[in-house]
A and B are shown apart, each in its own frame.
Chain A
Amino acid sequence: MKTMKQFFKLSIFIWAILLVFGCSKDDFYEMDEPGLLVPLTVDEDPSLPSISLNGTLLHSEAFGNPEDPMIVVIHGGPGGDYRTLLCSRDLVDDGYYVVFYDQRGSGLSQRHDADDFTVQMYIDDLEAVIDYYRYDENQKVILLTHSWGSMLAAGFVNEYPEAIDGMVLAEPGGLTFDQMEEYLSRSLEVELFNEATNDAIFPDHIFAGRSEHEILDYKQSFWISFETAEGNTIGNPGPYPHWRSGAVAHSASHDYVVEHGFDFQNNLGNYTQKVLFMYSEWNEAYGEDWAEEVAAPFPNKEVEIVLGTGHEMFYFGWDDMYPKVLNYLNEIQ
């Protein structure tokens, strides 16, 4: 009798497992179908502007006269895109050839597997972008950069100090691994019992244990509400536009530097061109002291505040940022 009861209980349990696993859902959208929840990338949509280099396809555009001094705009992340930096096109009217590109695996650029992401890869891709658009060897090249893009620019100049004729660095987190970690500990401070945190992580219940890039990208997009929540540490006054959060690019790049570290400042003493170093008024995690500390390795720099904005200063603070950037560009001509 007892054995029969136990057998029936176990049978129900096993049957329930089979029922759960036996579900089919032919009438529902599939999350990993390209284009449903995140935009198509350049390899999925040939109508998007792109350039081919270093074994990848990058979403890229350029504006202005190709013979004018070239400004290469480098977005943040890793895994972000250049959509909020498009205001930099204003510099075309000031006599510059302005180049935008989404970094490998980011924005609308072709996706890549996690193993492809290294620091040197980003530096090599930047070199290839410059070579792609450069008119001739005499053309000046200036980097206009934001956040992680500023870190990348510093790493590029650290390796090739003769290659760049000017740089605008807007709130790089840090130029060494330790600096980056220190900044992130302040800027990404998480409060567990807080709406913004729960809004960012609750989707982990729903989009759980899936490795398809489209699903990871869509899940990553829920962190926007954390970055732009009322009272956020980095001073963003609201949401900002984007194309796609490159989840694999972001996580793989972070994992890489955790394992290998980085030092983008050990040769910066050889970069003698003036650098414009910018920080935002409302980013509580940054401030003038941190800006001075991160900018210290540059022998020739100017540190400027961008008023009325937080970390996303290109999108929210361009009115104050643009004349300061233009003034710097005129100085280094």
Chain B
Amino acid sequence: MKSLEILNNQKTINRIQMKTLNKIIISLVFLLTLKAGIVCAQDINWNDVENGNKHFVTLSLGEDNSSYYGLTYGYNIGNTKLPLILDAEFSVPFGEDVFDDWNSRIGLQTKLWSHNDLWWSAKASVVTRKFESEVASLLNFGSSLSTLFGYQKSKWGIAAEFTYDRSEITKIENRITKDYYPEITDGWYNTASGNFKIGLQANASIKSTNLFLRFGKTYGQDFENNPTVPFYAKVGISKSF
């Protein structure tokens, strides 16, 4: 009898695990097939996750192919043992026209492994970018994957970051260029290409408030045609609760 109870409990546990896993897979499929693109994902102090905090809010400003400021909200849809942070970010480049250009991002990140103070996480995101100038209007969707390997103590942490930030498709509506080249073609373009980012992240923690600093180098995926500003930097203040 006891063996049957144990077996039933094990089956129940397995069903719950499979349901959770199915939710994860479905979420990833849905998000990744939207084909969006990302800049940087949520800054997470995994100790805050283990302490049971569910909500993560970050204000940030930085430089990443434009100077920008933004707001991110994340929520742990997993648990302290199997954390899965679903987050959304909205950022705007600096400039006189405030909302003519913007980035919005939805992402998932999880801690893949940890041992003592070491941790390894992965992020998958989709991003929508909108851009307007007198040259053209662009609506871009892309995706990105990144991995961080870090060391987190109670009051500080440091991590190495590797990200592949990919553009997928873009709707191009040309403007002033049409005056000079009437045959220019508007429409949806395959803009599949990307940048690699390699950098460091550091954080200082006071209770559930973290100050993050992230910086690194950006390379075009061919390591020849690199961005005009070949580095990125971000300062953020994050609160979890």
The answer to whether B189 touches A28, judged by C-beta atoms less than 8 angstroms apart, is yes
Contacting residues of chain B (189-210) with chain A, CB-CB under 8 angstroms: 189-195
B5 at interface, CB cutoff 8 A? no
The answer to whether B131 touches A206, judged by C-beta atoms less than 8 angstroms apart, is yes
Max chain B C-beta neighbours (<10 A), residue from A30, A196, A202:
A202
> Hey, which chain B residues are within 8 Å of A8, CB to CB?
21
Q: A201-B229, A206-B131, A208-B227 are in contact. Are A195 and B97 (CB under 8 A)?
A: yes
The answer to whether A16 touches B32, judged by C-beta atoms less than 8 angstroms apart, is yes
B167 at interface, CB cutoff 8 A? yes
Binds A, one of B41-49, B50-58, B149-157, B180-188: B180-188
B8 at interface, CB cutoff 8 A? no
Q: Mark A80-123, 1 if CB is under 8 A from B, else 0.
A: 00010000000000000000000000000000000000000000
Binds B, one of A31-39, A163-171, A299-307, A316-324: A31-39
B226 to chain A, nearest CB (A): 8
A24 vs B144: C-alpha distance when bound (angstroms)? 16
A207 vs B168: C-alpha distance when bound (angstroms)? 10
The answer to whether B145 touches A205, judged by C-beta atoms less than 8 angstroms apart, is no
The answer to whether A203 touches B131, judged by C-beta atoms less than 8 angstroms apart, is yes
The answer to whether A193 touches B67, judged by C-beta atoms less than 8 angstroms apart, is yes
A211 at interface, CB cutoff 8 A? yes
> Hey, which chain B residues are within 8 Å of A200, CB to CB?
228
A9 at interface, CB cutoff 8 A? yes
> Hey, which chain A residues are within 8 Å of B33, CB to CB?
19
Q: Mark B165-185, 1 if CB is under 8 A from A, else 0.
A: 111111010101101110111
Max chain A C-beta neighbours (<10 A), residue from B37, B174, B177, B189:
B189
Contacting residues of chain B (92-110) with chain A, CB-CB under 8 angstroms: 93-97, 101, 110
A210 vs B226: C-alpha distance when bound (angstroms)? 9
> Hey, which chain A residues are within 8 Å of B223, CB to CB?
209
Residue of A nearest to B110 (CB): A9
A25 vs B169: C-alpha distance when bound (angstroms)? 8
Q: Mark A201-237, 1 if CB is under 8 A from B, else 0.
A: 1111111111100001000011011001000000000
The answer to whether A194 touches B95, judged by C-beta atoms less than 8 angstroms apart, is yes
B220 at interface, CB cutoff 8 A? yes
B124 at interface, CB cutoff 8 A? yes
Max chain B C-beta neighbours (<10 A), residue from A8, A16, A38, A239:
A16
A205 vs B131: C-alpha distance when bound (angstroms)? 10
The answer to whether A211 touches B185, judged by C-beta atoms less than 8 angstroms apart, is no
Contacting residues of chain A (1-28) with chain B, CB-CB under 8 angstroms: 5-6, 8-10, 12-13, 15-17, 19-20, 23, 25, 27-28
A35 vs B183: C-alpha distance when bound (angstroms)? 8
A186 at interface, CB cutoff 8 A? no
> Hey, which chain A residues are within 8 Å of B222, CB to CB?
209-211
Q: A5-B82, A16-B124, A242-B180 are in contact. Are A28 and B221 (CB under 8 A)?
A: no
The answer to whether A25 touches B192, judged by C-beta atoms less than 8 angstroms apart, is yes
A259 vs B187: C-alpha distance when bound (angstroms)? 40
> Hey, which chain B residues are within 8 Å of A38, CB to CB?
181, 184
The answer to whether A243 touches B180, judged by C-beta atoms less than 8 angstroms apart, is yes
B79 to chain A, nearest CB (A): 11
Q: A23-B35, A37-B172, A241-B180 are in contact. Are A204 and B229 (CB under 8 A)?
A: yes
A261 vs B99: C-alpha distance when bound (angstroms)? 43
The answer to whether A195 touches B96, judged by C-beta atoms less than 8 angstroms apart, is yes
The answer to whether B225 touches A198, judged by C-beta atoms less than 8 angstroms apart, is no
Q: A6-B112, A37-B172, A199-B95 are in contact. Are A208 and B32 (CB under 8 A)?
A: no
Partner of B65, one of A15, A37, A205, A221: A205
Residue of B nearest to A10 (CB): B112
Partner of B67, one of A6, A25, A198, A222: A198
Q: A17-B145, A39-B181, A205-B129 are in contact. Are A29 and B188 (CB under 8 A)?
A: yes
B174 to chain A, nearest CB (A): 8
Max chain A C-beta neighbours (<10 A), residue from B24, B25, B167, B219:
B167
A288 to chain B, nearest CB (A): 32
B9 at interface, CB cutoff 8 A? no
Partner of B187, one of A17, A29, A193: A29
B66 at interface, CB cutoff 8 A? yes
B183 to chain A, nearest CB (A): 7
The answer to whether B180 touches A6, judged by C-beta atoms less than 8 angstroms apart, is no
> Hey, which chain B residues are within 8 Å of A29, CB to CB?
185, 187-190
A16 vs B169: C-alpha distance when bound (angstroms)? 18
> Hey, which chain B residues are within 8 Å of A211, CB to CB?
222, 224-225
The answer to whether B192 touches A206, judged by C-beta atoms less than 8 angstroms apart, is no
Chain A to chain B: the 7 pairs with minimum beta-carbon distance, closest first:
A195-B95, A209-B220, A209-B221, A204-B227, A198-B66, A199-B133, A28-B190
Q: List 6 A-B contacts (CB under 8 A).
A: A13-B112, A207-B191, A208-B195, A211-B224, A222-B135, A224-B135
Q: CB within 8 Å of B: which residues of A? A: 5-6, 8-10, 12-13, 15-17, 19-20, 23, 25, 27-31, 35-39, 83, 192-211, 216, 221-222, 224-225, 228, 239, 241-243
* Given A202-B93, A205-B167, A208-B195; 19 other pairs, CB 8 A cutoff: A6-B113, A16-B28, A16-B145, A19-B32, A20-B32, A25-B192, A28-B169, A29-B185, A37-B184, A194-B95, A195-B97, A197-B66, A205-B65, A205-B129, A205-B142, A206-B129, A208-B221, A210-B220, A242-B180
